[in-house]
Amino acid sequence: MEHKRIAKLLAVIWSIVAVLPLFFGSTNFIMHILIMCLIWSVVASCWDLIMGFAGIFSFGQVAFFVIGAYASAIITAKFGIPPIFAVFLAGVIAAGIGILVGLPCLKLKGAYIALVTFAVHMILEPVLKGGIGRAIGTGGSRGILTIQPMNIFGYTFTSSEPVPYFYLMLFVAVICSGIILAVIKSHWGTAFLALKDAEEFASCLGVSAFKYKLMVFALTSFLTGVIGGFYAHYVGMLSTRMLGIDLFVTLMVILVIGGVGKFPGAIIGAFITIAINEMLSPLGSFRPITLGAMVVILVLLLPDGIVGMFEKIFLKKKKVRSLN
Amino acid sequence: MLKMTNVTKKFGELTAVNNLSFEVEQGQVFGIAGPNGAGKSTLYNLITGLYPFEGSVTFNNGEIRGLPPHQIAKLGISRTFQIPQTFPSLSVEKSIGVGSHFGSRDGFEHDYVEKILRFVNLIDKRDSSTGQLNLLDKKMLMIGAALATKPRVLMLDEPMAGSNAKEIMKLMNLVQRINREMGITIIIIEHFMKVLTELTEKLLIIETGTEVCCGNPVDVTSDPRVIECYLGGNND
Ligand SMILES: Nc1ncnc2c1ncn2[C@@H]1O[C@H](COP(=O)(O)OP(=O)(O)OP(=O)(O)O)[C@@H](O)[C@H]1O
Ligand SMILES: [Mg+2]
């Protein structure tokens, strides 16, 4: 998609989202879901940037999110650093780990990168629960039960009053999507695409695969870590349950619905998926199966997601118009 | 200018390049030929830093073995690939821009990209996706992107393969202009002997990674060892 179109679409999406509290502001339950939509929209957009756009099959996004969440919670608790600074430190920590994970991935291709990055996801749970985790303050298998709420300039955001936190998250999500758009537009974006399409040729034209691949690892894990921190200070408690298959699958559905490599499709995907997920909750234990079946059907019907579908319709209209 | 000394590359048991030594002079058009699987493309992959190897390659007297491909590109060594590589996600103009932005010592120059677009005859297709191009245009695009890095040496890997007589004439003319007008040293791998004798000043023949002979193209093509290696091996 053209950069201008992405910017326009972002403006439309965020304006619609911004007025939602006018309708749902008094229903805490719905506001909570909307906050979650904003949080997952950032995680999914980052995943889309590294996987859909840069073509690196990183499956570590949930792990970076959890790392950011734990890091921010621990930093505020242990060092008395205010949450608003802690989330950035959490992002830096996630980015550092992201670079460490990215290094071995430089030598690997495709599915092997998926394996390495998913291994990080797999070992994170035992690490957080085990001796190392307890030593740094993860609370072992009990998790962290009290996390300081977000506080900016003396104003405390609480989950019992979700509207202010909603706008804070909206602000963060807008900034993150702006950063992603800026990256896609810049020569970084060109380098990512060139390396994805033909790595040998790109590097023989002077593109450093080392630099740009590590950059995309660092950036996506930084943003994911930061939003993980915001999540922690919002929900107020953490456990390794997030590392279960549920969240991972939900994120995948978000990407599939939004369209892989179709930013800002992931944002639309997040709102649709989380909403559907909530509507399916009466199904109880059948919910994951239903969601799974939806993924299969969607991949078959809408290989490029919602945004891809709109693009096709738009192109057809254009063709019809030019034929007339 | 570009000097190999005892360059050897092994893929497991297979020795793809075997103790090769030769030098390409500044301003030359240097040809490389040999039967299929002789190790010609592998040699390019070694020079451009894609594979590790034994021996030494110096460029303007500086060792380049061990440097990553993007740094070798910045030094002024550029290349095309035998099987065209393009960037389907990028437009023609953006693809050539990649070379200018990342590979040129002067950084991105819009006017230069414009000039290259004209030079490789792709100015009318500047906004097309590179995936939509035909084979000749894909090759032109690869050459264009390589030229956009402002190289001192351009290495072409079988640029004429799969082209008809008219296209071959066009490509030969282009190669000569790159060499004469732009002053860029050329190394060219080619199967067509006629092309090589017409274009090159020096010709290296290799077989199973080993030098068969090297010298003036007229002498080389009449050398009995070369005739034997061509008639004995794949004759295409
Ligand atoms: N990456 C690789 N791994 C293993 N073997 C390789 C690799 N690249 C090339 N080879 C082998 O090295 C030998 C030389 O291959 P190369 O592609 O350099 O030949 P060539 O002279 O370019 O041939 P052609 O005229 O067919 O292009 C071949 O036997 C090939 O199978
Ligand atoms: Mg070859």
Place of tokens 């950084």: B107
pLDDT of B232 reads 57
pLDDT of B235 reads 45
What residues contact residue A78 under an 8 Å CB cut-off, 6+ apart? A137
**Within a domain: A248:** no
- Which of A204, A212, A215 is the best mutation test for B, with the most CBs of B within 10 A? A204
**Within a domain: A140:** yes
Q: E strands along A67-202, which residues?
A: 151-152, 155-156
**Within a domain: A299:** no
Q: Cβ contact (<8 Å) for B85 and A200?
A: yes
Provide, rounded to the nearest whole percent, the portion of chain B with pLDDT above 90: 84
Residues of chain A that touch chain B, judged by Cβ-Cβ distance less than 8 Å = 187, 190-191, 193-194, 196-198, 200-210
The answer to whether the CB of B51 is under 6 A from ligand 1 is: no
Q: What angle do CA B106, B115, B160 make, to 5 degrees?
A: 105
Output the CA B134–ligand 1 centroid distance in Å.
25
**Within a domain: A153:** yes
Exposure string (b/e) for B135-150, b if CB count within 10 Å is 16 or more?
ebbbbbbbbbbbbbbb
Q: How many angstroms from the chain centroid is the CA of residue B85?
A: 13
SS3 B136: helix
Residues of chain A with confidence (pLDDT) below 70 = 1, 318-324
Domains of chain A: total: 1
Q: Which amino acid is at B115?
A: K
What residues contact residue B36 under an 8 Å CB cut-off, 6+ apart? B233, B234, B236
B22 CB near a chain A CB, below 8 Å? no
Q: Which residues, in sequence order, are bridge partners of residue B22? A: B4
Q: Which residue of B has its CA nearest to A208?
A: B70
B122 CB near a chain A CB, below 8 Å? no
Ligand 1, atom 22, residue with closest C-alpha:
B41
Which ligand does the CA of B157 lie closest to?
2
**Within a domain: A228:** yes
The answer to whether the CB of B37 is under 6 A from ligand 1 is: yes
Q: Give the number of A-B residue pairs with CB atoms closer than 8 Å.
A: 86
Q: How confident is the model at residue B236 (pLDDT cuts 50, 70, 90)?
A: very low
How near does any CA of chain A get to the CA of B219, in Å? 34
Question: Do B192 and B167 meet the contact criterion of CB atoms below 8 Å apart?
Answer: no
Question: Do A228 and A94 meet the contact criterion of CB atoms below 8 Å apart?
Answer: yes
pLDDT of B76 reads 96
**Within a domain: A12:** yes
Q: Cβ contact (<8 Å) for A190 and B81?
A: no
What ipTM, to 2 d.p.?
Answer: 0.93
How near does any CA of chain B get to the CA of A228, in Å? 31
> Would you state the structure tokens that stand for residue B213, as one six-digit string?
């002979």
Distance, CA of A324 to CA of A113 (rounded, Å): 49
SS3 A308: helix
Q: Which residue of A has its CA nearest to B148?
A: A205
What residues contact residue B60 under an 8 Å CB cut-off, 6+ apart? B1, B152
The answer to whether the CB of B42 is under 6 A from ligand 1 is: yes
Q: What is the C-alpha radius of gyration for chain B, rounded to an integer number of angstroms?
A: 17
How near does any CA of chain A get to the CA of B112, in Å? 15
**Within a domain: A302:** no
Output the CA B41–ligand 2 centroid distance in Å.
4
pLDDT of A1 reads 66
Q: How many angstroms from the chain centroid is the CA of residue B200?
A: 13
Distances (CA, A) of B11 to A61, A199, B14, B52, B117: 36, 21, 5, 11, 38
The answer to whether the CB of B40 is under 6 A from ligand 1 is: yes
DSSP A282: G
pLDDT of A292 reads 80
* Residue A23 burial by Cβ neighbours in a 10 Å radius (0-12, 13-18, 19+): exposed
Q: What angle do CA A263, A115, A223 make, to 5 degrees?
A: 40
SS3 B21: strand
What residues contact residue B178 under an 8 Å CB cut-off, 6+ apart? B143, B147, B154, B184, B186
pLDDT tens per residue across span A7-35 = 999 999 999 999 999 999 888 999 999 99
Where in the sequence is the domain holding A231, given as residue range(s)? 3-243+261-267
DSSP B10: E
**Within a domain: A172:** yes
pLDDT tens per residue across span B117-159 = 999 999 999 999 888 899 999 999 999 999 999 999 999 999 9
Closest CA to A168 of A11, A27, A31: A31
pLDDT of B66 reads 93
Nearest to B103 among A187, A190, A205 (CB): A205
pTM for the whole structure:
0.90
